[in-house]
Amino acid sequence: MSSLPIDLTELEERLAKAAGVNSRVSDGRLELLPTTVKEAARAEAARGHFDPDGSRTLISLAAFAHIEAPDPITSSVKVGASAQLADVEAALRSAGLTLGWLSPKARALSVRAWIEGPYAGLRVIPGNRLESAALSLSVSLRGGGLYQGIAAPRSAVGPVLEGLILGCGGQVGALLEVQLRALGRPEVVETVHAGLERPEEVAQLVRAALQRDVPVVEVQVRRKARGYTADLVVASLGFRASRDRAALEQLAKDHGELRTMRRVEERELPFEGELPWERLPWAVAQGGPLTLYRLARESLVIAAEGPVKGALALDRAPEPLPTPFLSALALRPPEVA
Amino acid sequence: MTRLVERLPLLDLPAPTAASQRLCRELAALVDGRASTASHERALYARDMWPKALMWTRAGYTALPPDVIVWPETVEQVAAVTRKACELGVPLIPYGAGSGVCGGTIPLRGGIVMDVKRLSRIKSVDPEALEADVEAGMLGEIFERRLNRQGLSTGHFPSSMYCSTVGGWIAARGAGQASNRYGKIEDMTASVTAVDGRGEVVVTPRRPVPGWDLTQLLIGSEGALGTICSARMHLVRTPEARVFAGFKFRGIEEGTEAIRNIFQAGVRPAVVRLYDPFDTLLVGKGHEAKPAGKKGLLRAAFDEKVLVRLERLGSLTAIGQPIGLNRAADLLRECLLVLLFEGPADLVELEAEEATRVCLAAGGEDRGPDPARTWLEKRYAVSYKQSRVFDSGAFVDTMEVAATWDKVTQVYHRVRQAVAPLAFVMCHFSHAYPEGCALYFTFAGAAGSLEQIEERYDAIWRAGLAAARSAGATATHHHGVGVSKLNALKGQLGDGMRLIQALKATFDPKGILNPGKLGV
């Protein structure tokens, strides 16, 4: 400690006193180590006050990696945002629950990266709608303050403020804890194998299945010597599994040719992007192997060997929030404990 | 004590000032002459369907009226009016059909009310993508009827269907009766076109979005961030088949457990409504033979004749001293659950079978399809009965909150307990999700003078919202904030109000849009 520049020592003293959190110095920066959401909010407020540009202070969120026991009553699980999705999914599996059918790259993320990054913590729910997995969020706001959403399935309390957090790269603040919604784990996962002549037919078949309320969760598309093959994975709850398979088989016949069912091996492709539906035929026509995930009426996630035109890459940095908005956020004097 | 919303004698409305008449002329030039300062129109646009304002109207009072009303017909006209308001620093309040029940359109500081009902075109329908571009002033029932001709539907059926607009649905973040299957309005809106407080047209991007989700930020903005002019909506196909079901449970605990199990089993009825015991008595009277014996006597005590009396002067004493009625309701136990399944024919039968299995396992008694059929026939009727209550000198209002399943019954009991000394209270549970549901409370009360009525009405809301919030519920599920829940908004959002303030500073830097709403 004595080897530190005096101003850093002073900074540590002031910040630690103001925030009431543990701290340490690492690589010439002061690292604050909050362990609760309130400590994190105080640390953020203190940093805003004593180190406004944040260049000398780091707030470690490593402590926010906990995973509570899944709650079957609310079909949810409370987790720290630094937890890994794979660990969350494992915990949910033991309770017969799941976050949903996520793409391989999404599954490899932390909760924070999944929610704050371009995946925006979205998954498909029955009805083929996109829904945020976050039932409630705790965010330590830039410049001080704590936003704690109420855990309620929906609300009408003003704008959907999660629109400032999901997919926004933590620009309004640091995501600390999340109560994640879970879904009942599919009991039957089957694959229907279809042969289709044209790229448009691939898109039409998939959309028709969704509109017919068939829970298609993944589609692997390949170009063949003549036309295309689509392996459609359908993940159903037990009471409707036979119906879902039969409905999908009928649709495959209506749009092309139903082929022998076979098991599909998961494959991970280097690129994942979010694609509007109207671009799908074009992407299929390019001929490379594709896998489609998060098949919702709003958009889909496409995995491919390389970037797909029209798809928003899901490993990019989110766009900056408008300057007037960020300025307005920072206008308020920070609250120092 | 200063009121958030002032009331004035209706017959003593101040005449339009020279300044407002000048403003009216300037605005008229922007909207093909459709602007007015006429007293009767200013009085009409001084309120929406907020029950407190209805009570004022009955007693000869009004909220502060706007100075001018304008009726633009295009987005460009909306933008021009907004630019003028911004230039002059005059409040501008977007207005749809005025069916809001929270006072969201009341012009707290006067100014211009901009009625967007003339923006009522369906600009395009894409039956393949199941989407439509529709203007904000389109009335819900007309929109639905036109879509139905093409085998399409919004999937959005608020009880205000005949008197609410698409823009109002979005601005208030509403929900329809079939939200269980089709979602709330935030689930149905792909993009909106709005005019912000500077008069600039904002078209929110559709997914994929590269940063903030602007569509979601304008949904629920209650006219304080922008005037919604049109929206790209997701549609559904009209259902191939419907299956109706009804079950009786021995209490709300059993009934809510059944709903939770239905949704967590992956079954998605379009409509789910569990009525608490007294509400069950009310809805049950329409489609069931009266049972004999003690139950019959009890039911008779609340039968049509009594209910009618409740709405008239003879009931004022009872509603005005509601403890007795609430205690009587406490003696009741039976709860009716109404379920309606719709969608592909091969699926709805399976869903109904699975739900039946779940309900029976939870202790439910199968009451057949009639309760749900009757509900469907009368689905829009209940709101229109409220005027009879107001006519009698009593008042009725509704409070809809939402909570996760672990808190739902606690919210129910706490709100009933808190409000019981002040009003007769009943509730139904609807808008269900795997994680929780909405609780829809109906309060009926009465008091002597207008001042006493106001005092009682405000006390009911304070007690009801405080109880709901203390039990972990959100302050509103689909009616929005308006003026009636402003304090609850601030309480619920806490430091999150900073985000609202920053949004306001971004989209409406001069603060002209519906000032005072959303706490900004």
CA B155/CA B144 separation, integer angstroms: 9
Closest-CA distance of chain B to residue A231, Å? 22
Backbone φ and ψ for A65, nearest 5 degrees, come out as -120, 15
Q: What is the mean pLDDT of residues B263-287?
A: 87
Does B354 contact A at CB distance below 8 Å? Answer: yes
Give CA B307 to chain center in angstroms.
24
- Name the stretches of chain A with pLDDT < 50: 1-4, 331-337
Asked if B431 contacts B180 with a C-beta cutoff of 8 angstroms, the reply is: yes
Backbone φ and ψ for A161, nearest 5 degrees, come out as -65, -20
**Are B234 and A75 an interchain contact pair (Cβ–Cβ within 8 Å)?**
no
- Give the model's confidence band at B315: pLDDT under 50 very low, under 70 low, under 90 confident, else very high: low
CA B184/CA B422 separation, integer angstroms: 32
The predicted pLDDT at position B484 comes to: 95
Mean pLDDT of chain B: 92
Chain B stretch 307-326, residues whose beta carbon is closer than 8 A to a beta carbon of chain A: none
**Are A328 and B210 an interchain contact pair (Cβ–Cβ within 8 Å)?**
no
Closest-CA distance of chain B to residue A76, Å? 7
Beta bridge partners of B390: none
What is the 3-class SS of B420-447, one letter each residue? CCCCEEEEEEECCCCCEEEEEEEEEECC
For the cut 60, the answer to whether the pLDDT of residue B289 exceeds it is no
Of A196-200, B385-389, B509-513, the poorest mean pLDDT is in B385-389
User: For residue B208, is the peptide bond before it cis, meaning its omega torsion is within 30 degrees of 0?
Assistant: yes
Task: Please list every residue in chain A whose beta carbon sits closer than 8 Å to the beta carbon of residue B343.
Answer: 213
Does B351 contact A at CB distance below 8 Å? Answer: yes
Instruction: Identify the H or E element spanning A222.
Output: strand A216-223
The predicted pLDDT at position B254 comes to: 97
Q: What is the pTM of this model?
A: 0.94
**Are A157 and B488 an interchain contact pair (Cβ–Cβ within 8 Å)?**
yes
Task: Please list every residue in chain B whose beta carbon sits closer than 8 Å to the beta carbon of residue A184.
Answer: 264-266, 434
**Are A159 and B220 an interchain contact pair (Cβ–Cβ within 8 Å)?**
yes
Model-level ipTM above the cut of 0.90: yes
Interface test with B, best of A75, A103, A154 (most B CBs within 10 A): A154
Chain B stretch 44-83, residues whose beta carbon is closer than 8 A to a beta carbon of chain A: none
> Which one of B184, B475, B481 has the shortest CB-CB distance to A154?
B184
Residue-by-residue DSSP string for B181-247: HH--HHHHEEEEEEEETTS-EEEPPPSS-SS--HHHHHTT-TTSSEEEEEEEEE-EEPPSEEEEEEE
Among B99, B10, B2, residue whose Cα is nearest residue B63:
B10
The residues, any chain, with a CB within 8 Å of residue A196's CB and separated by 6 or more, are A202, A205, A227, A228, A229, A230, A255, A256, A257
Closest-CA distance of chain B to residue A264, Å? 25
- Give the model's confidence band at B301: pLDDT under 50 very low, under 70 low, under 90 confident, else very high: very low
Nearest CA in chain A to B208: A274
CA B430/CA B438 separation, integer angstroms: 5
> Which one of A145, A213, A277 has the shortest CB-CB distance to B129?
A277
∠ CA B491-B493-B499, nearest 5°, is 140
Of A257-271, B55-69, B206-220, the poorest mean pLDDT is in A257-271
The predicted pLDDT at position B486 comes to: 95
Among B97, B120, B65, residue whose Cα is nearest residue B168:
B97
Does A299 contact B at CB distance below 8 Å? Answer: yes
Task: Please list every residue in chain B whose beta carbon sits closer than 8 Å to the beta carbon of residue A203.
Answer: none
The predicted pLDDT at position B284 comes to: 66
Task: Please list every residue in chain A whose beta carbon sits closer than 8 Å to the beta carbon of residue B475.
Answer: 155, 157
For the cut 80, the answer to whether the pLDDT of residue B386 exceeds it is no
Q: What is the mean pLDDT of residues B329-349?
A: 94
- Give the model's confidence band at B316: pLDDT under 50 very low, under 70 low, under 90 confident, else very high: low
**Are B481 and A157 an interchain contact pair (Cβ–Cβ within 8 Å)?**
yes
> Which one of A120, A152, A212 has the shortest CB-CB distance to B403?
A152
Interface test with B, best of A135, A155, A207, A302 (most B CBs within 10 A): A155
Phi-psi region of B509 (alpha: psi -120 to 50; beta: other; left: phi over 0): alpha
Joined together, the tokens standing for residue B320 give 């005005």
Residue-by-residue DSSP string for A131-154: EESEEEEEEEETTS-EEE----S-
Does B499 contact A at CB distance below 8 Å? Answer: yes
Work out the number of other CB atoms within 10 angstroms of the CB of residue A9. 15
> Which one of B129, B265, B479 has the shortest CB-CB distance to A156?
B479
DSSP one-letter code for B407:
T
Q: What is the mean pLDDT of residues B471-486?
A: 97
Q: What is the mean pLDDT of residues B399-421?
A: 97
- Give the model's confidence band at B2: pLDDT under 50 very low, under 70 low, under 90 confident, else very high: low
CA A46/CA A229 separation, integer angstroms: 58
Indicate the residue type of A255.
Answer: H
Does B155 contact A at CB distance below 8 Å? Answer: no
Q: What is the mean pLDDT of residues B253-269?
A: 97
Phi-psi region of B183 (alpha: psi -120 to 50; beta: other; left: phi over 0): left
SS3 of residue A87 by DSSP: helix
The predicted pLDDT at position A261 comes to: 66
> Which one of A147, A164, A312 has the shortest CB-CB distance to B208?
A312
Distances from the Cα of B140 to the Cα of B48, B105, B128, B146, angstroms? 17, 18, 22, 10
Among A269, A174, A189, A175, residue whose Cα is nearest residue A221:
A269
DSSP one-letter code for A164:
G
Task: Please list every residue in chain A whose beta carbon sits closer than 8 Å to the beta carbon of residue B225.
Answer: 159
**Are B478 and A154 an interchain contact pair (Cβ–Cβ within 8 Å)?**
yes
Distances from the Cα of A122 to the Cα of A49, A293, B294, B316, angstroms? 34, 12, 53, 51
Asked if B130 contacts B26 with a C-beta cutoff of 8 angstroms, the reply is: no
Nearest CA in chain B to A244: B347
Q: What is the mean pLDDT of residues B250-261?
A: 97
Does B518 contact A at CB distance below 8 Å? Answer: yes
